[in-house]
Structure 1
Amino acid sequence: MPDTKLAPNLISYSVTISACEKGRNWEQAMLLFEEMQGALIAPDVPSYSATISACQKAGQQPPQLGDLQDQPIFGMCNSVCHLRLEYTGVRVEKAGQWQVALQLFDSMQSGNLSPDIISHSAAISSCEKGGQWQSALHIFAFIQKARLSPDVISYSAAISSCEKGAQWQVAVHMLSHMPAAKLLPNIVSYSASISACEKGEQWQMALHLFSAIPKAMLTPTEISYNATISSCEKGQQWQHALGLFSSMPKAKLTPNIISYGAAINSCEEGSQWQLSFQLFYDMLGAKLTPNLILYRSAISYCELGGR
């Protein structure tokens, strides 16, 4: 545009940032966002939302955070921890995507712009990917304060953040609250809640949620199966773990290394060495590569005189 002596306007910037967001190019989106302000063009809600979404969809590991001069400070608000970030003298490219997303979200509010549900959901998802469950829940709480209605995406992102933080009680509470909000949980909501229960070693609740998936007219995925099997493994429930594992082919799902690993470890902890070795042998037949722990389990079985 500059070559043709046409100055980019708000619409052209927003459209280009959205293109970067769809192309998962968060660095270019941020450069355009900064350039827009340098051109004295005030960002609007769509341009903010697209930039935050670009950070959320980056899908790569954040840069090292060693250059950050200020560390996150945690506080309590309505029984939910929240995060406040200071960015004095810190360049955007030195921060992780979740931190950039939070900075943009805060900038919207300080700039007298009202973040929409897309902005909220993208910011929550960015925090989830960065392992910042407290910040994700803090932003989720802002949705109702802003008189917006949470959607399935924002709920699922918040539940996923609880899973990353091993906050199974909060995850299950949010899942159970969705029908009251006139929302139907999707498979992502269920899988994240089950994973949270698995991390919290709540195998009974994990099984309960897994059994609720078909009742909700949803189809369990490889992720929901693996999380439930792993939960049974941690609860030393090898029969349940093996039953779930065996039912995967019926659900037209192929067990992967995680499925086999959880089932094998579960059988081993239940002193079912022969079943454990048989699963190991089947895994090799499925052309999957065992990790070191699984190899040690097989060797231990042989040392016990199994083979």
Structure 2
Amino acid sequence: RHVATPNFITYGAAVSACDAGKQWERALQLVAEMLSRHVAPNDVVVGAAVSACGRAQQWQQSLRFAAEMRDHGIRPTAFTYAAVADACEKGWQWEWALQQLEEMVAYRVNPDLFVCSAAVSACEKGRKWEQALELFHQARSRGITPDET
């Protein structure tokens, strides 16, 4: 009888299930297991783990985990930055949400609608309307147009 070895797809499904269930600790454990088995997590897996942290109001863990992934040579994508910014927004951490945009520019990752929306929303929660308005104008100058959501 052959037992299949878990790959990034099966791990990804498990991490996504943890995200849906707000099981952030288990999501991070699964990614750590992936790394120990030399299975490279892709941006969807990393984003789901970060999202699990955000859903559970663990914005600090999302920041730490994203930095840890960079230390492992896993380059963050717009998807990852959006998940971290969203976690920061859920934790009412507008400064850290803005930091995600700054890092994106520094790492030459193009900001998208999702990360810009999370950062604007975080500024709104922090009553930082000036920053929210500035972000809105910056997004438009980059060709990012708001949708109806």
**Residue in structure 1 matched with residue 12 of structure 2 by the alignment:** 49
**Residue in structure 1 matched with residue 117 of structure 2 by the alignment:** 191
**Residue in structure 2 matched with residue 113 of structure 1 by the alignment:** 38
TM-score computed with the length of structure 2 as normaliser = 0.86
**Residue in structure 1 matched with residue 76 of structure 2 by the alignment:** 150
> How far apart are the structure 1 equivalents of 2:40 and 2:56?
21
Amino acid at match of 2:97: A
Partner deviation per Cα, 1:57-83 (whole Å, 9 max, x = no partner): x3xxx4xxxxxxxxxxxxxxxxxxxxx
For 1:135-214, list aligned pairs within 5 A: 135-214=61-140
Does the 8 Å contact 1:102/1:123 carry over to 2? yes
Q: How many angstroms does 1:191 deviate by? A: 0.7
> How far apart are the structure 2 equivalents of 1:182 and 1:117?
18
Structure 1 gaps, min length 5: 1-6, 11-41, 63-95, 224-307
**Residue in structure 2 matched with residue 126 of structure 1 by the alignment:** 52
Does the 8 Å contact 1:133/1:158 carry over to 2? yes
Q: How many angstroms does 1:8 deviate by? A: 5.9
Amino acid at match of 1:121: G
Amino acid at match of 2:126: G
RMSD of aligned residue pairs (Cα, Å): 2.0
With over 3 angstroms needed to count, the CA separation of the structure-2 counterparts of 1:173 and 1:221, relative to structure 1, is same
**Residue in structure 2 matched with residue 283 of structure 1 by the alignment:** none
TM-score computed with the length of structure 1 as normaliser = 0.44
Greater C-alpha radius of gyration: 1
**Residue in structure 2 matched with residue 219 of structure 1 by the alignment:** 145
Does the 8 Å contact 2:8/2:42 carry over to 1? no
**Residue in structure 2 matched with residue 39 of structure 1 by the alignment:** none
> How far apart are the structure 2 equivalents of 1:199 and 1:175?
17
Structure with the bigger percentage of helix:
2
> How far apart are the structure 1 equivalents of 2:136 and 2:124?
12
**Which aligned runs of 4 or more in structure 1 are off by greater than 6 angstroms?**
none
Does the 8 Å contact 1:127/1:135 carry over to 2? yes
Amino acid at match of 1:197: C
> How far apart are the structure 2 equivalents of 1:113 and 1:139?
17
Structure 2 gaps, min length 5: none
Percent of aligned positions that are identical = 36
For 1:56-135, list aligned pairs within 5 A: 56=19, 58=20, 62=21, 96-109=22-35, 111-118=36-43, 119-135=45-61
Amino acid at match of 2:42: I
> How far apart are the structure 2 equivalents of 1:121 and 1:146?
15
> How far apart are the structure 2 equivalents of 1:200 and 1:222?
22
> How far apart are the structure 2 equivalents of 1:209 and 1:166?
17
Q: Give the aligned length.
A: 148
For 1:14-53, list aligned pairs within 5 A: 42-53=5-16
Q: How many angstroms does 1:50 deviate by? A: 2.5
Amino acid at match of 2:106: A
Partner deviation per Cα, 1:38-58 (whole Å, 9 max, x = no partner): xxxx433332222112333x3
